[in-house]
Amino acid sequence: MIFKNLCIAAFLSNAAMGNLLTSSDMGNTVFGKKSDTDYFYPGPKFEGEHCHLVVAPLMSPPNPKKSVYIESLSCGMGNNKGTYIHMVTDGLPTGDALDAKMVAKFGGDWDSAVKNVKQAAALMKTAGIDTTPYDNLRRLDVESKGDPFNLAAEALASLKEKHTLSTTSLRAESFVKSTGNGWYYPSSSSRPHVHVSIQVDSAGNRYVDYVGLTNGGSTGAITDLVKSGKMTMNSISQTNWDLYEDYYCAALDVMELASPRYVTDAYRPCPVSAARTAIAQRLSQLLDI
């Protein structure tokens, strides 16, 4: 059991966010191989719009399945003409969605971009990475007498920024309502505390506006996690995590209950999420330990 736990811990360290592709996965991928680390879709010799995959081998634990993890994955025009989306960087999923304005900026074709990103997302999903930002690509294929790229970008912004969160979910995570639209954990008088701000539109929809760990008393934030509805991607230092773990877990857990949910793995410095637990279980099966 100790050996198994050490193997899983080493895997999580080596595989960045826990993404994992076996030799069988790589053998079945639509990405064409250029070298042991570089793969391209539609192919390594294709000179038009394509996606570039860079993989790295797991250094530990023992790797009988010759597994690799995705080090980077991006799509663009090729030949150094511009990248319109970075999907994985330094082993971490970026959470960025496909922006029609960026595709247009580099002279790309929207339909080709959608096709390529869907193939890249499928590979990410095989690796065990959350692909929520790519679930609604079809909704952005907008036709208009005006500028379809502006319309698509506006639709994307709406999809990315509006996350609903119910009072039931907030109370389930022990948040307490204060004046206005503020919710706090463990309470508004606690120092520090987690502050969640909810905006309510004319139809009664409750959207997340802000989530952060603050000092209270209008003395500033320790970590802003969500601002204007979007994740800030501000890193949490190990020192702060050790000091305020309970507060951070409360904030991240309630973010996971939003609809669509926030993917919070990038904020967590240790393997506590369900996604990482599932990946660790998959590794155990692959290693037969």
Euclidean distance between CA atoms 48 and 202, whole angstroms: 46
Write out the chain's pLDDT in tens, 289 residues.
Answer: 433 343 344 344 434 445 788 888 888 899 999 998 999 999 888 778 999 999 988 765 555 567 888 989 999 988 778 899 999 988 888 888 888 888 888 888 888 898 999 999 999 988 888 888 787 664 333 333 344 444 444 444 444 458 899 899 999 899 999 888 899 999 999 999 999 999 988 878 889 999 999 988 777 899 999 998 888 877 788 888 889 999 999 999 999 898 888 888 777 764 444 444 454 455 555 555 4
